[in-house]
Amino acid sequence: MKRIKFYIFTILVFASQVLLAQMEFKTSVSKTNLGVNQRFRIEFSVDKQGADNFKPPSFANFKVVGGPSSSVSQSWINGKASYSQTYIYILEPKNEGEFIIEPATIEYNNEIVKSNAIKLTVSKAIEIPKDPNNPEYIAQQNIHLVAEVSNLNPYVGEGIYVVYKLFVSQNIGVNDWRVSESPQYNGFWNQDIEVTDTNAQKGKYNGEDYRYLVLKRAILIPQRAGVLIVEPIKMDFSVGIPTGRGDFFGNMITRNISFSTASDVRTVRVKALPEKGKPLDFSGAVGDFEFSVTADKNVLKANDAAQIKVEVKGSGNLKLFEIPKIITPPELETYTPEHKEAVSTSLSGLQGSISDAYTVVPQFKGKYKIPEVTFSYFNPKEQKYHTLLAEAVFVEVTEGKELPSSASDTSSFKKNVVANGNNFRFIALETTLKPNIKKDFLHSKEFYLLLLLPFLAIPIGILIGKKRAKRAGDIIGNKIRNAKRLARKYLSEAKKQLGKKEAFYVALEKALHNFLKAKLQIETSEISKEKIEELLQDKGVDANTIKELITVLNDCDFARYTPTTDVMMKNEYEKTIEILTEIDKQL
């Protein structure tokens, strides 16, 4: 009987210990139904000490505008202790719809514990009530982000600019701000212009006095006709809202709140370039330009070098079209041109010059003509095309070998065959043949070797079969080998497609992706510039090499929308080979 009581007591004690050891880890939110312009509070609470390694869920459909912060609460009431630790975030939805926030995890007694999931319904933006005492409403009425676009109806290739300004009224103070989402310019070639003046200026907004800052400036050049969108800039602010009360010294007491806003979406309607009057040699130049072809030497000796410079200067889309090419006589050895750009960017657009410098080396004495070259462009202000003619360039070679004439250059003619008495002196008239005696194949070395060959082939075949089976089962290894093979294939394809822009950059991008899949062991769906950069950093690749790789990936995307030259493609290919070799060496 005593033994039974002992067992019962032991079971009760064990059960009470288990109950005491249970931990509650839960997720709660301030609201489950909200507008897309509203924020909510999410808390992850644990009621036991000793829990650590807290990991929040992915807030993929939400923007974190506050947190993480934590609070700890302990109490002892009537001999009963209670404990609570809470992890707090402030979130804002990015889109409308129904979303599930997955459980968070925490470690307790060497076990992973999960909280509960939360379902949220996000509806359209809710209008903030026009309450003059509502801090959110006050901030909305006194802070404005404005996107000013210089021309909402440009031609394809015509440069426009966008300026983002922050207007703040005199009634409130902005303590801090940050850009939460930068604008995208899909369909535009774009380049930021550095903002050097960060001082507040006085200006008008809707007829009222405001202070304003210029936050961002960019040049935009539309690449296609139709409706294009200049997306908004989004920002978060810490705003000091007056409470209407003063402190002991009479200073106004303010209440700090978090506030988010965005500029309006601007719609740009891009006009196509007119087909009427379009020159045959037009290559996409839009602006106001001058064109010239010059030689640094017009008189030289054979094997001396001269430079023929083809230059376009002025204002317009200077980086987005090809310079006309010159045709040189075959007697002048001509090298691949050196491309140079001296272009500055301002709110007036792109200004400066671009040029190709050809090095020519004459082989023979004489006077050579480099024919006239034409260059066509469209002037959007005059709304018409212009064609400029560069006069022919003459190069005179005063010293050197004479150009071979038809009379002296006998190498180009066939010689008649002349018969004489010695034509057939090497034909043998007698033979020295020997009998070809073959040995019997039976019982020869070859006979026994072929006889044993099947017995040797069986174990070799078994080994090869096992190796193939092992290799076939190596799924990850096969993927890596296949990716390496595809990387080599597409690199070779890119080299073959030099001069064909679309096919070249598609092949180059595929080669890069397959190389990264092989080296980083990631799937195509996981390939993003941020992921690539993170993985390469983890593997110890230096920052400069990573930066150059990201630049090449961006160039592959960018080059599909802009003109490019054979020289630029060749340089891109060689640069890619160098970067991949360097990454392979470091890994």
Closest CA to 190 of 213, 216, 221, 215: 221
485-502 confidence digits (pLDDT tens): 666 766 777 777 777 777
**Res 8 pLDDT > 60:** no
DSSP state of 315: E
**pLDDT tens-digit map of 372-409:** 999 999 999 999 999 999 999 898 888 767 766 544 44
Please determine, for residue 249, whether its predicted confidence score (pLDDT) is greater than 60. no
Counting residues of the chain whose pLDDT is more than 90, the rounded percentage is: 18
Give residue 13's pLDDT.
42
Whole-number Cα distances in Å, 28 to 104, 243, 329, 361 = 11, 31, 81, 79
pLDDT at 429 over 90: no
Query: Between these two residues, 389 and 79, which has the higher pLDDT value?
Result: 389
20 residue type, one letter: L
Q: From residue 453, how far is each of 25, 461, 468, 511 by CA, in Å?
A: 71, 12, 22, 44
Q: What's the Cα-to-Cα distance from 43 to each of 39, 84, 121, 529, rounded to whole Å?
A: 14, 12, 18, 32
**What are φ and ψ of residue 470, in 5° steps?**
-65, -40
Residue 1 has pLDDT above 60, yes or no: no
Instruction: Report the range of poorest mean pLDDT among 83-97, 161-175, 417-431.
Output: 417-431
Three-class secondary structure assignment of 336-403: CCEEEEEEEEECCEEEEEEEEEEEEEECECEEEEECCEEEEEEECCCCEEEEEEECCEEEEECCCECC
Report whether pLDDT(461) > 60.
yes
Rounded distance, CA 159 to CA 345, Å? 11
Contact 298, 167 (CB under 8 A): no
pLDDT greater at residue 511 or residue 79:
511
Give the range with max mean pLDDT: 16-25, 347-356, 404-413, 415-424: 347-356
pLDDT in tens, 123-164: 887 766 555 667 777 787 888 889 999 999 999 999 999 999
- Top-confidence residue, 296 or 52: 296
Q: What is the mean pLDDT of residues 4-14?
A: 50
CA 231 to chain centre: 18
CA nearest 289: which of 157, 394, 161, 152? 157
At 15, is the pLDDT very low, low, confident or very high (cuts 50, 70, 90)?
A: very low
| pLDDT at residue 409, as a whole number | 47
C-alpha distances out from residue 402 to 302, 367, 407, 559, Å: 10, 11, 13, 46
pLDDT of 317-363, one tens digit each? 998 898 999 988 888 888 889 999 999 888 888 899 999 999 988 88
If one compares 319 and 477, the residue with the highest pLDDT of the two is: 319
Work out the pLDDT band at 311, boundaries 50, 70, 90: very high
pLDDT at 564 over 70: no
Residue environment code for 242-251, b if the CB has 16+ CB neighbours within 10 A, otherwise e: eeeeeeeeee
Q: Is the pLDDT of residue 436 over 70?
A: no
pLDDT value at position 453? 80
Mind giving me the DSSP string for 218-268? EEEEE-SSEEEEEPPPEEEEEEEEEEEEE-TTSPEEEEEEEEEEEPPPEEE
Query: What's the pLDDT score for residue 411?
Result: 43
CA distances to 65, 515, 516 from 579, in Å = 38, 11, 12
Position 177 scores a pLDDT of: 79
Per-residue tokens: 504: 């070249």
